[in-house]
Structure 1
C-alpha cells in the first residue's frame, strides 16, 4: 500500500473534507484528491462517501483507516529504530508496564539494565493497558493474561502467574476460614482487575466463574496486597511466587486454594518489525535473566543490610 496515498486518505477523513485537509496539510486539494482516487483504484472499491457537506468513510474505508494508522505508526517506529542501530544498544527505549507491577521489581530492573547498557535511555510508562500503547507510546509491553491481542507481535513468556485468594492470618482469625465458595458471601472481598476480566466474575480453576460483590476492585496489585495484609478482606491476587522484597506486610495465607483463581503468565510483547533491533533484543534477554534472578534465592549481602538496601546493592553490582 502506498504510504503517501494512505496519508492523504487519513488526512481527508480526519478533516472531513478535501478542502479542510488541503488547508491543514498545506497541499493542493487536487493532489490529495488524486492520491485518494489512486488508492481507491488500487483496492478496487470506494473508500469515501462524498456529499456537499464533506466526506465520510465507507465500511471498507473505516477498515483501511484502522490498518493504515497502524502501518504509519510502524513505519515511524522502524525509522526511529534504524537510526539507533549500532554495535551496542543505544538511544531511547520505551517500556510499558501494567499498573501494580511491584515498584521494587521495577527499580531493580531499571538499575540492572542501566548498569549493563549505559547508552540506553529508558522511558517507563505505567498504565492499565500497556498493550494498547504499543508502537504509539511504547516499544515493548509487559502484560498479564492468557489471551493474545490481535496484531503482528512477538510474544516472550516471562513467568507463570497463578491467581488465587489470599488473606491475612488476623483477618481469618476474626472472621473464620471459608471452606466453600458459598461461604465467600459472608466475607469482605477485594478484587484484582485482571486484563479483559469482568470485575464481578471471578475465575475458578475448573474453567468456570462465580458472581461476587467485591467491596473494592483495583488494577493495582500493590494496593490490593497491602489492604489484604492489613486485614481488610480476602483478596483475589496474582502470585508469581517471587520473594517478598519489603518484608513489611503480614504474610498472606491461601484461601480455597486450587478452587478460586486461574493460571496464566506474565509476557513481553514486541512489534515484529522492531524485534530484531539491538535495543529490543537486549531488553528481552535482560527481562528473561531478571525474572530468573528474582525467582532464585536471595544473594547474600553484608550483614545488617535490609531488604530494600539488599536489592539496591544488587542493582549497583549486577
Structure 2
C-alpha cells in the first residue's frame, strides 16, 4: 500500500463527502478507493469512516487521522511548491476570482510585478462581488473580504485584516452636522452596501458598549466603489473598508464619523477549493499578495 497516495485519497473522500466524487476527482474507481481505505483501517487497527448506503461520517479516530494527514500533506505540498516557485519555473494558467473593489484597488497595482516575476505564467482574473462556486467556475483561487467564512469544503488562509469605519464628506457634515453618538445616526442620511455581511444594520462598538443601528437607507448600492463616490459627493454617511477609504481620508475628501466607534473588522481570505489543492502557482500569488499587504502596513 502506497501510504502517501492512500492518505491523499482519504483526505479527498472526507473533503468531497463521498467515495464517488473523490474517485471522479482522482480518476480511479470508487471500489478501488473503498478497498484502499479498508486496508488503511486494517493497518491502523481502527475504523476511520462510518459508512452506510446513504451516508458517510468520520469516527473519532477518523477525525484525528484527517487533521494530522491534512497537515502533513499540506506541508509536503508547500515544500515542493516553494522550491518550484523559488526556481522561477511557474508555468500554466492561474485563474483567480476577486471582488471588484478589492481587485481594482489592491490587486490591479500588484499584477505587473507578479507577472514580471513569473514570465511563463498565464493569468485569468475575474471580478465578481458575489460568492462564486469555485469548482464550477474553474478557479484556482478566490479572494474574499468577509468578517468570517462559513464552514465549507474550501481551505482558506487569512492574509490581512481590514478596518471598517463610517465616513462622510466635509460638505455633508457642514450641512447636517456630525453625529456625536450612534443614536444620532437616526437623523442622518445613510448609504448602505447590499453585499455587506450585515446589509441591514451597523453593529457598532465603542465607549458606551455596543449599538446596533438599523439602516433605512434611501440609497442602497451593490458596489462599494460607487458607495465611496456617493459619500464623497455628499449623499450621506456610509461604511467603507480601509483599502477604499485611506486615500480619500488622507486627501480630505472624506472624514471619519464617530471615530471612537468601530464596526467589526473584516479579513482578506485566500480561498482554495479542496478538490484542487494549493499548487505552486496559487501559493506564489498568495505569498506575493501577503507580502504586499504587509508592506502597505
Bin for the TM-score computed over the shorter chain: 0.5 to 0.7
Mapped to 2, the partners of 1:265 and 1:87 lie a distance apart of 31
- Match for 1:221 among 219, 224, 238? 224
Hey, what does 1:88 align to over in structure 2? 88
Q: Go from structure 1 to structure 2 and tell me whether the alpha carbon gap of 1:89 and 1:67 turns closer, same or farther (over 3 Å shift).
A: same
SS in 2 for 1:258: coil
Mapped to 2, the partners of 1:288 and 1:229 lie a distance apart of 31
- Largest Rg, 1 or 2: 1
Give, in angstroms, the shift of residue 195 of structure 1.
7.8
Bigger helix share: 2
Say if 2:9 and 2:33, in contact at 8 Å, map to a contact too: no
Taking only aligned residues, the RMSD between alpha carbons, in angstroms, comes to 5.5
Hey, what does 1:259 align to over in structure 2? 261
Give, in angstroms, the shift of residue 188 of structure 1.
2.8
Q: Go from structure 1 to structure 2 and tell me whether the alpha carbon gap of 1:45 and 1:257 turns closer, same or farther (over 3 Å shift).
A: same
Give, in angstroms, the shift of residue 288 of structure 1.
3.3
Say if 1:90 and 1:121, in contact at 8 Å, map to a contact too: no
Is 1:237 equivalent to 2:240 in the alignment? Answer: yes
Q: Go from structure 1 to structure 2 and tell me whether the alpha carbon gap of 1:2 and 1:198 turns closer, same or farther (over 3 Å shift).
A: farther
Mapped to 2, the partners of 1:152 and 1:286 lie a distance apart of 17
Pairwise mapping of residues 35-184 of structure 1 onto structure 2 (< 5 A)? 35-41=36-42, 42=44, 44-45=46-47, 47-50=49-52, 54-60=53-59, 81=81, 85=85, 87-91=87-91, 92-95=93-96, 97-101=98-102, 103-126=104-127, 137-138=139-140, 141=143, 143=145, 156-157=159-160, 161-184=162-185
Mapped to 1, the partners of 2:287 and 2:158 lie a distance apart of 10
Instruction: Give the unaligned 5+ runs of structure 1.
Output: 296-318
Mapped to 1, the partners of 2:56 and 2:90 lie a distance apart of 41
Give, in angstroms, the shift of residue 235 of structure 1.
0.5
Report the TM-score, using the length of structure 2 for normalisation.
0.61
SS in 2 for 1:210: strand
Q: Go from structure 1 to structure 2 and tell me whether the alpha carbon gap of 1:280 and 1:219 turns closer, same or farther (over 3 Å shift).
A: farther
Report the TM-score, using the length of structure 1 for normalisation.
0.58
Give, in angstroms, the shift of residue 34 of structure 1.
2.6
Instruction: Give the unaligned 5+ runs of structure 2.
Output: none
Aligned residues: 275
Say if 2:141 and 2:270, in contact at 8 Å, map to a contact too: no
Hey, what does 2:18 align to over in structure 1? 13
Hey, what does 1:311 align to over in structure 2? none
Mapped to 2, the partners of 1:12 and 1:143 lie a distance apart of 27
Pairwise mapping of residues 299-310 of structure 1 onto structure 2 (< 5 A)? none
Give, in angstroms, the shift of residue 202 of structure 1.
1.9
Hey, what does 1:316 align to over in structure 2? none
Say if 1:102 and 1:222, in contact at 8 Å, map to a contact too: no
Mapped to 1, the partners of 2:186 and 2:139 lie a distance apart of 42
